[in-house]
Amino acid sequence: STVLRDGVTPWPDDVADVYRSAGCWRDRPLGDLVWEWAEARPDQIAVIDGPTRFTYAELARRADRAAVMLRDRGLGRGSVVLVALPNGWELVVLLLGCLRAGVAPVMMLPAHRDHELAAIGRLTGAEAIAVPDTFRGHDHQAMAERVRELVPLLREVIVRGDDVREGSVDLRSAVAEPADDDQVHERRSLLDGTPPSASDVAVFLLSGGTTGLSKVIARTHNDYEYNARRSAEVCGFGPGTVYLAALPAGHNFPLASPGILGTLMVGGTVALVPSPAPARVLGVIARERVTVVAAVPAVLSRWVAAAEGGDADLASLEIVQVGGSLFAPEAYRRAVDVLGCRVQQVYGMAEGLLCYVRETDPDDVAAVTQGRPISEHDELRIVDPDGAEVPPGEAGELLVRGPYTPRGYFRAPEQNAEAFADGWYRTGDLVTRHPSGNLVVVGRTKDVVNRGGEKVSADEVERLVQALDAVAEVAVIPAPDPDLGERVCVCVVPAGGRTVTLPDIRRELTAAGVAEYKIPEQLLVLDEMPQTSVGKTDKTALSRIVRSRLGRV
Ligand code: J2J
């Protein structure tokens, strides 16, 4: 089975020609670049993870070992691996190894559980899964073994940790360097196989999505390389950049906006921490002289609070990037005051389009806008519900197409019919254009809960809750929350004579193997669902009820 092109909506040939001749697409597979980086700066530190540090040469050799490990197990060009590792050097090595071997990693999160891993594993035809042995008290290795039974093609379990069970691949020892390694020979032998093409899928990213079926986005080598390279340029990254990956690296933001890949491309240093806990992050910033770090607003406000009370040395920080959900101007001011560095808003999406506030934007623009696109080939339209362009300054839905915004979801013809029109991706975001030219995100049309930057599809949670016996009708809406912006609120009409409680729902969904961040944190029990004039659940009315009844909680 091949996932290289099958199920992927390509850019039309004439459009692709434009992107090539404009220099956006270079037809260089990302894996080839790993050795280019290493040859340019073999002794520069590429990766820092706690006490572990690898130079670019060491990183490239380990990436090749990871590629060899994959190939030894029959995984090569066109194979898919679910990667659900926490941030750490092993994640970077495996990711680069996949790119070297032409294997497409699916960027999952350590927060994902059986439900998500199995669904995405089936959809993508994953043949392997990479997990930590345990993480935050959860046995990921046992979970991976369960998932292997549920996913037809999945056969290899790759484990990071000290406690790797028989039959699984020990990731750390597979990539360790023997003392008498003949590096040149190894590199040549690796390149013998079929090299990936730059229009192959490089990585699969998960969509925050609006409908219950999991959606993945196939990013090609060409488009993702441009995405990271152009981001690094816009953000002024260079060999002196020390980028701290504190958000889970499965997200597009820390992965390639400019993130880990953007930093490695310019010869900078990537430090990784397994969690964005403030004490750890502030300590690493001081110790490793971090210059750039990215956060979602909910995480940033915890760092700011910790920095305000503490004595952490943040003098090395040049840019703190913030994006993923709404960031209030007051929070911007406070962050600038406390951190004493540039705070850069980023509006992006795994589907493609990336907007950054620029260094040249005045402070009053930087405070209230979410930036502008990275590419002159990004085409944007702001439209009303009929698809007509709105007058300047007014709010409408943002449609986008461009050199790093794919033309469809992977293997999802029905969803593509809704989410794409003539190659335009419908973002589901309501935006206005600020007089500065930057975009301002003012709301959304899509049915998601944005829980501190983690997107939860209302439809997905509705289906899971609807399956419970005690539930007759269900609707999922965002409940406003001071810390996370929004939390998942479930509104339920119980089945005749039954009672429904929040602990019941939480227990059932946990037992179904659903990621914790999707599990409802608020419950509203109703006698009947409010309906719109056309007989659909009236979520606006539900939001009003939730605000008035739960607002005091
Ligand atoms: C308001 N809403 C925002 C912002 C994203 C960089 C940064 C973020 C993401 C991301 C990303 C927002 N203000 N500044 O992939 O590379 C909401 C919008 C958007 C959705 C995309 C990156 N920045 N959002 O958040 O795929 O609703 O990507 O459509 O997770 O997050 O979510 P996601």
What atom of ligand 1 comes closest to residue 428's alpha carbon? 29
C-alpha to C-alpha distance for 441 and 297, rounded to whole angstroms: 14
Q: Which CATH class is domain 30-42+51-196?
A: alpha beta
What atom of ligand 1 comes closest to residue 429's alpha carbon? 27
120 CA to centre of ligand 1 in angstroms: 21
Question: Is the CB of residue 252 below 6 angstroms from any atom belonging to ligand 1?
Answer: yes
**Would you say residue 540 has pLDDT above 60?**
yes
**Would you say residue 193 has pLDDT above 70?**
no
Question: Is the CB of residue 348 below 6 angstroms from any atom belonging to ligand 1?
Answer: yes
| Res. 553 pLDDT band, cuts 50 70 90 | very low
Question: Is the CB of residue 404 below 6 angstroms from any atom belonging to ligand 1?
Answer: no
**Would you say residue 186 has pLDDT above 60?**
no
**In CATH terms, are 233-444 and 448-550 the same topology?**
no
Domain topology for 448-550: GMP Synthetase; Chain A, domain 3 (3.30.300)
Question: Does ipTM top 0.85?
Answer: yes
- Confidence at residue 26, expressed as pLDDT on a 0 to 100 scale: 98
In degrees, to the nearest 5, what angle opens at C-alpha 299 toward C-alphas 298 and 300?
95
Residue nearest to atom 25 of ligand 1 (CA): 324
45 CA to centre of ligand 1 in angstroms: 30
What atom of ligand 1 comes closest to residue 446's alpha carbon? 27
Cis? peptide before 478, omega within 30° of 0: no
Question: Is the CB of residue 493 below 6 angstroms from any atom belonging to ligand 1?
Answer: no
357-371 confidence digits (pLDDT tens)? 999 999 999 999 999
193 CA to centre of ligand 1 in angstroms: 37
**Mutational pocket test of ligand 1: of 207, 214, 349, the residue with most ligand atoms within 8 Å of the beta carbon:** 349
Question: Is the CB of residue 321 below 6 angstroms from any atom belonging to ligand 1?
Answer: no
323 CA to centre of ligand 1 in angstroms: 6
Q: Which CATH class is domain 233-444?
A: alpha beta
393-408 confidence digits (pLDDT tens)? 999 999 999 999 999 9
C-alpha to C-alpha distance for 138 and 512, rounded to whole angstroms: 15
- Is pTM, for the whole model, over 0.80? yes
Q: Taking the domains of the chain in order of start, what are their residue ranges?
A: 30-42+51-196, 233-444, 448-550
Per-position DSSP letters for 380-399, written without gaps between them: EEEE-TTSPBPPTT--EEEE
Question: Is the CB of residue 462 below 6 angstroms from any atom belonging to ligand 1?
Answer: no
251 CA to centre of ligand 1 in angstroms: 10
| Res. 232 pLDDT band, cuts 50 70 90 | very high
- Which three-class secondary structure string do you get for 429-473? EEEEECCCCCEEEEEECCCEEEECCEEEEHHHHHHHHHCCCCEEE
| Res. 37 pLDDT band, cuts 50 70 90 | very high
What atom of ligand 1 comes closest to residue 345's alpha carbon? 14
What atom of ligand 1 comes closest to residue 323's alpha carbon? 14
State what percent of residues in the chain have pLDDT above 70: 95
Least confident of 27-36, 189-198, 342-351, 383-392: 189-198
CA distances from 321 to 109, 287, 309, 342 (A): 21, 20, 21, 8
Question: Is the CB of residue 303 below 6 angstroms from any atom belonging to ligand 1?
Answer: no
253 CA to centre of ligand 1 in angstroms: 8
- Confidence at residue 188, expressed as pLDDT on a 0 to 100 scale: 47
